[in-house]
A and B are shown apart, each in its own frame.
Chain A
Amino acid sequence: MKVLFLMDSPEYLRFYDSAIEELARRGHEVAISVNNQRDKKPVGIEGLRSYADRVRVLGVVPESVGLWSQVAYRLRGTMDFVRFLHPTFRDAPALRARIKRKVLPRAYYWLDAIPRLNSGSVGRIERLLMAAERAIPVQTSIIEFLQAHAPDVLLVSPLVAAASDQVDWVKAARQCGIRTGVCIASWDNLTNKGLLRVEPDLVIVWNEAQRREAHAYHYLPIDRVVATGAQLFDKWFEKRPTRDREAFCRASGLTDSEPFVLFTGSSSFISESSAEVAFVRRWIAALRASRHPELREINVLVRPHPYNFHRWADDPVADLPRVTVYPRRPYNPVEQSSRDDFFDSLYYCAAVVGINTSAMIEAAIIGRPVCSMLTPEFANTQEGTIHFHHLLPENGGFLRIASTVEQHVDQLGDCLRDPAATGAETERFVASFIRPHGRDRAATPIFADVVEQLATIQAQPPTAPPLAPVLRLLTLVAALPAFAVDQLRPQALARLRKRIRSAPRRTTKRLKKAAARWKRLIP
């Protein structure tokens, strides 16, 4: 079987390295390629070369160009925004604002004035926009590329990136009669990002919850979505620490090797660096003032998110006793030493505290209790995101969540006294969310099995929507305002807006002046 695995960027390789190796190990001819390469990212395309002895490395694939590519970008941006009008996302203003900022054409900013629509309306609009997407012609360069390499299966990940041009690849593969599988890379991808926009032959997700999300929010038939488990975490089930506890505590700068609580930072979207620092200081103050003696003296290790380091670099907690920031300077998260540090931090800690981050899931796999608290400053990125709800106990999650700092301190104290107390919940979560086929069954071979099965099914023929040429023309017409507005420079618009806003004030001032002149003239 010939498999072409197309990832959005080289960073996605870390999600699928084990799966790619497994497919190659089974004797399949695997080729890997990416849509984009960004020069300043820690993972570069040259990283793909480390797989060159097992798989074919095709580098960066041809990009979508031309008028229709521009039209498609704007159409996809609109589709991505419209999905956030769904009632499920009514409490997710941050997600909606982000997608608007990223990809919604400015000519369609008025859509943001709609508070929300009912799920039926959103579904109907999205289906109409999906039909328009199908009416857009497929890029010839992509078809030529696929015909030249002639894979049996095209795997694409993640496809749900905002206004992703990977859609062109799924459409082109269907036109070439190639089976298509979409691999959803992470737990938040189906609810935090854009729409799938096209129907591939198969969508591979981690678990049942994501299957339901794919069906409810991406309008896919449920039988086309398969849960294989989270193959990227397979290594975590076997991994051992790289050094002993004393050596780790010494390296991280902890004053001694007594138990410590680990605070894991979140990305800048979830918690802006300054707000996170303020939160951590407040949290530590609450620990020190708590009625639990073990918390008053406990060591705290703060691990900032690699891409949200800004305020942490100045060590803003240096004045607090028994608190250490580690790593102390920005780090490359894909380097083996950084990964080892991360694992060791989780392995040796007594409990983990965080706002909303994947590190909480990694802590659960290792079996550490994880606590969090709801705060007004992060309301939009905690409860305001759908994926956070998967961590809550009422949804089968493992998180000890508190609504006040006092409650949180009590929960943390309980976890330290009895680390096994959350064990059952954590086990249940791991068994359902990370390894739905059984805790002892690695997800990677299941993923490979599913890809093999995909190669045996009949590829879907391309389905042109009814009246495709008319729809194509309408799509082009609808994109024209977006083109026009995008050409207007924001500075010019801002000036115009300012003038319009100040028009009443300026008119009043002129009238007053005129009145004063008349008064002087008429005694």
Chain B
Amino acid sequence: MTINAIETTAGGRRVLLLRPDVSQPVRCGIDLVAAAAHARETGGAIYLLLDGESMPVSVDGVPVITPHGVQRLWLSAVWRTASAAKDVRAWWRHLETSVAHEWRRELRRHIGDDQLPLELRQRLRTLAEASTRRGRTETSAFPRRMLRASSAVSLLPDFVEEARSQLTALGITDGRPLVTFESRTRPDIAAAVMELLVSEGYAVARIGEPADGVRSCDGVVDLTTSSRPLSLEMFLVYASAFIMCESIDLQQLAYLVNTPSLVINARDPFVAYPLRKNGLFALSAAIDLEAAQPITIGDMLTQPYFRDLHKQQVRGRRRGSHGYRDNTVEELTEAIKEMRAGIADGWASESESQSRFRQRVVEAGTALAPISAHVAEWGPDDGFIGDGRLVRFQADRVS
């Protein structure tokens, strides 16, 4: 299992134990979808260990049980023991990795020593390589295959009713199809995109960070400044014709409620690659800061690019070798056009360049996974990256 669930037996059958953290609805939503897929395959059930708030969802075809009394106590103990074992394993792995890392550094120092006999140096090289393999941290890969099929999770009718009335109070009515727009892009671009969506007949719900100068009238409801429960955000995505977002959390929330998603300003082709057919994504323009010119999308599938991204995102370096430019209004207009066409024709018309790009991502991911933990986590799952696509105008550029 690569999801945050524990497999055990209860009442004589195999069950999956989940302890949803309601403060992270996306994470636990994804866990639930993946667990449902797994339970359906094995004919098992899902046991939810809820601490307080209940989840406003049901899973079709899989029994979801909330244990009580002695059974709950027993399953909680199983959960705690398994979690503690998992933590200890992770701690041990981390320790092992750092020792291996130091050992490898020491060996490398001697490999470069000309005064040592060649045979010994070659021997040391073999040892260093073995240590590299041993020292690789275990990554739990994003379960792409499990999440491939449309989610069997549906929102409970009571919750839907309540959320709908809350949205009406916020100014979102059923009159026009809704688009949820979340972006940290420049205000001028965001304003132009929302104006376009409104002119196409959509109502726009803007969420995310408040931005200077973005309209909150004429079909646009600005929800960036008001606080709202996360479950309402889930409903907002559920009620939308499609979502436009920059954050991966929101894309995953869209998987949960089967809403088409368009990810914009993506920096990482693996993380953002959509799982489902109804997903599109557009990459930011990555700029080589030393040469002051954009790199190609093909270059965004190479090891140096991911090494740099890792330095910035994980090690928190102030600056990497790449800068980024947001998608332009023209690019987003194209992407919206493609999204609308996809919804209208049932996502039948994938171009050759888009298929080729998918293949390229799979190949690059397969090659990079053994040397990059990040790609191992987010890259192809047994040769499957996703049924979604890169927006056509960018895919055409790659080929």
Contacts and interface: CB of A to CB of B under 8 A. Distances in A.
The answer to whether A and B interact is yes
Interface of A: 37, 39-40, 42, 44-46, 48-49, 57-60, 63, 268, 273, 304, 306-310, 312-314, 329-332
A59 B290 contact: yes
Interface string B160-186: 000000000000000000000000111
A273 B217 CA distance: 18
A314 B290 contact: no
B256 to A, nearest CB: 29
Given A46-B325, A60-B323, A37 B289 contact: yes
Question: Chain B: interface residue count, which band?
Answer: 20 to 34
A341 to B, nearest CB: 13
A44 B327 CA distance: 13
B214 A313 contact: yes
Given A46-B293, A63-B319, A329 B191 contact: yes
A40 B184 contact: yes
Which of B213, B217, B318, B323: most chain A Cβ within 10 A?
B213
A273 B214 CA distance: 13
A40 B212 contact: no
B215 A45 contact: no
B397 to A, nearest CB: 16
B292 interface: yes
A67 B116 CA distance: 36
Contacts of A42: 186, 188
B192 A329 contact: yes
B188 A44 contact: no
A130 to B, nearest CB: 26
Given A42-B186, A46-B287, A63 B318 contact: yes
A258 to B, nearest CB: 28
B238 to A, nearest CB: 28
Contact of A45 (B184, B195, B212, B287): B287
29 contacts: A37-B287, A39-B325, A40-B184, A42-B188, A44-B323, A45-B323, A46-B287, A48-B292, A49-B293, A59-B288, A59-B292, A60-B289, A60-B323, A63-B318, A63-B319, A307-B212, A308-B212, A310-B213, A313-B191, A313-B213, A313-B215, A313-B216, A314-B216, A329-B213, A330-B186, A330-B190, A330-B191, A330-B212, A331-B188
Interface string B55-71: 00000000000000000
B187 to A, nearest CB: 4
Main secondary structure of the interface of A (DSSP, over half): loop
Contacts of B215: 313-314, 329
Given A42-B186, A45-B289, A48-B292, A37 B214 contact: no
Given A40-B186, A329-B192, 11 more contacts: A42-B186, A45-B323, A48-B292, A57-B291, A60-B319, A60-B323, A304-B213, A308-B212, A312-B213, A329-B213, A330-B212
A513 B318 CA distance: 54
A312 B188 CA distance: 13
B190 to A, nearest CB: 8
B187 A330 contact: yes
Interface in B272-324: 285, 287-294, 318-319, 323-324
B199 to A, nearest CB: 13
Nearest to A307: B212
Contact of B213 (A39, A45, A59, A330): A330
B292 A49 contact: yes
B90 to A, nearest CB: 26
Contacts of B318: 63
A330 B323 contact: no
B326 interface: yes
A39 B288 contact: no
B188 A329 contact: yes
Interface string B199-215: 00000000000001111
Contact of A46 (B184, B190, B192, B292): B292
B188 A45 contact: no
Contacts of B188: 42, 306, 329-332
Contacts of A307: 212
Contacts of B294: 46
B324 A39 contact: yes
Which of B185, B288, B293: most chain A Cβ within 10 A?
B293
Contacts of B195: 329
B213 A309 contact: yes
A58 B292 CA distance: 7
Nearest to A32: B292
Which of B185, B212, B292, B326: most chain A Cβ within 10 A?
B292
A422 to B, nearest CB: 32
A37 B291 CA distance: 13
Given A39-B324, A40-B326, A60-B319, A332 B186 contact: yes
B290 A60 contact: yes
Nearest to A36: B319
B185 to A, nearest CB: 7
Contacts of A304: 213
A59 B291 CA distance: 5
B283 to A, nearest CB: 14
B327 to A, nearest CB: 12
A39 B323 contact: yes
Which of A57, A273, A304, A309: most chain B Cβ within 10 A?
A309
Nearest to B319: A63
B316 to A, nearest CB: 13
Nearest to B213: A309
B323 A37 contact: yes
Contacts of B287: 37, 44-46
A49 B295 CA distance: 13
Contacts of B290: 58-60
A59 B289 contact: yes
Contacts of B326: 39-40
Contacts of A312: 213
Contacts of B291: 57, 59
Interface in B212-241: 212-217
Contacts of A44: 287, 323, 325
Interface in B239-288: 285, 287-288
A164 to B, nearest CB: 15
Contacts of B216: 313-314
A73 to B, nearest CB: 11
Contacts of A37: 287, 289, 323
Interface in B88-138: none
Contacts of A39: 323-326
B305 to A, nearest CB: 16
Nearest to B293: A49
A218 B324 CA distance: 36
A496 to B, nearest CB: 26
| Interchain residue pairs A-B with the least CB separation, the first 4 | A309-B213, A60-B289, A59-B292, A330-B187
A330 B292 contact: no
Nearest to B187: A330
A306 B186 CA distance: 11
A33 to B, nearest CB: 8
Contacts of B324: 39
Which of A39, A40, A44, A63: most chain B Cβ within 10 A?
A39
Which of A60, A63, A308, A332: most chain B Cβ within 10 A?
A60
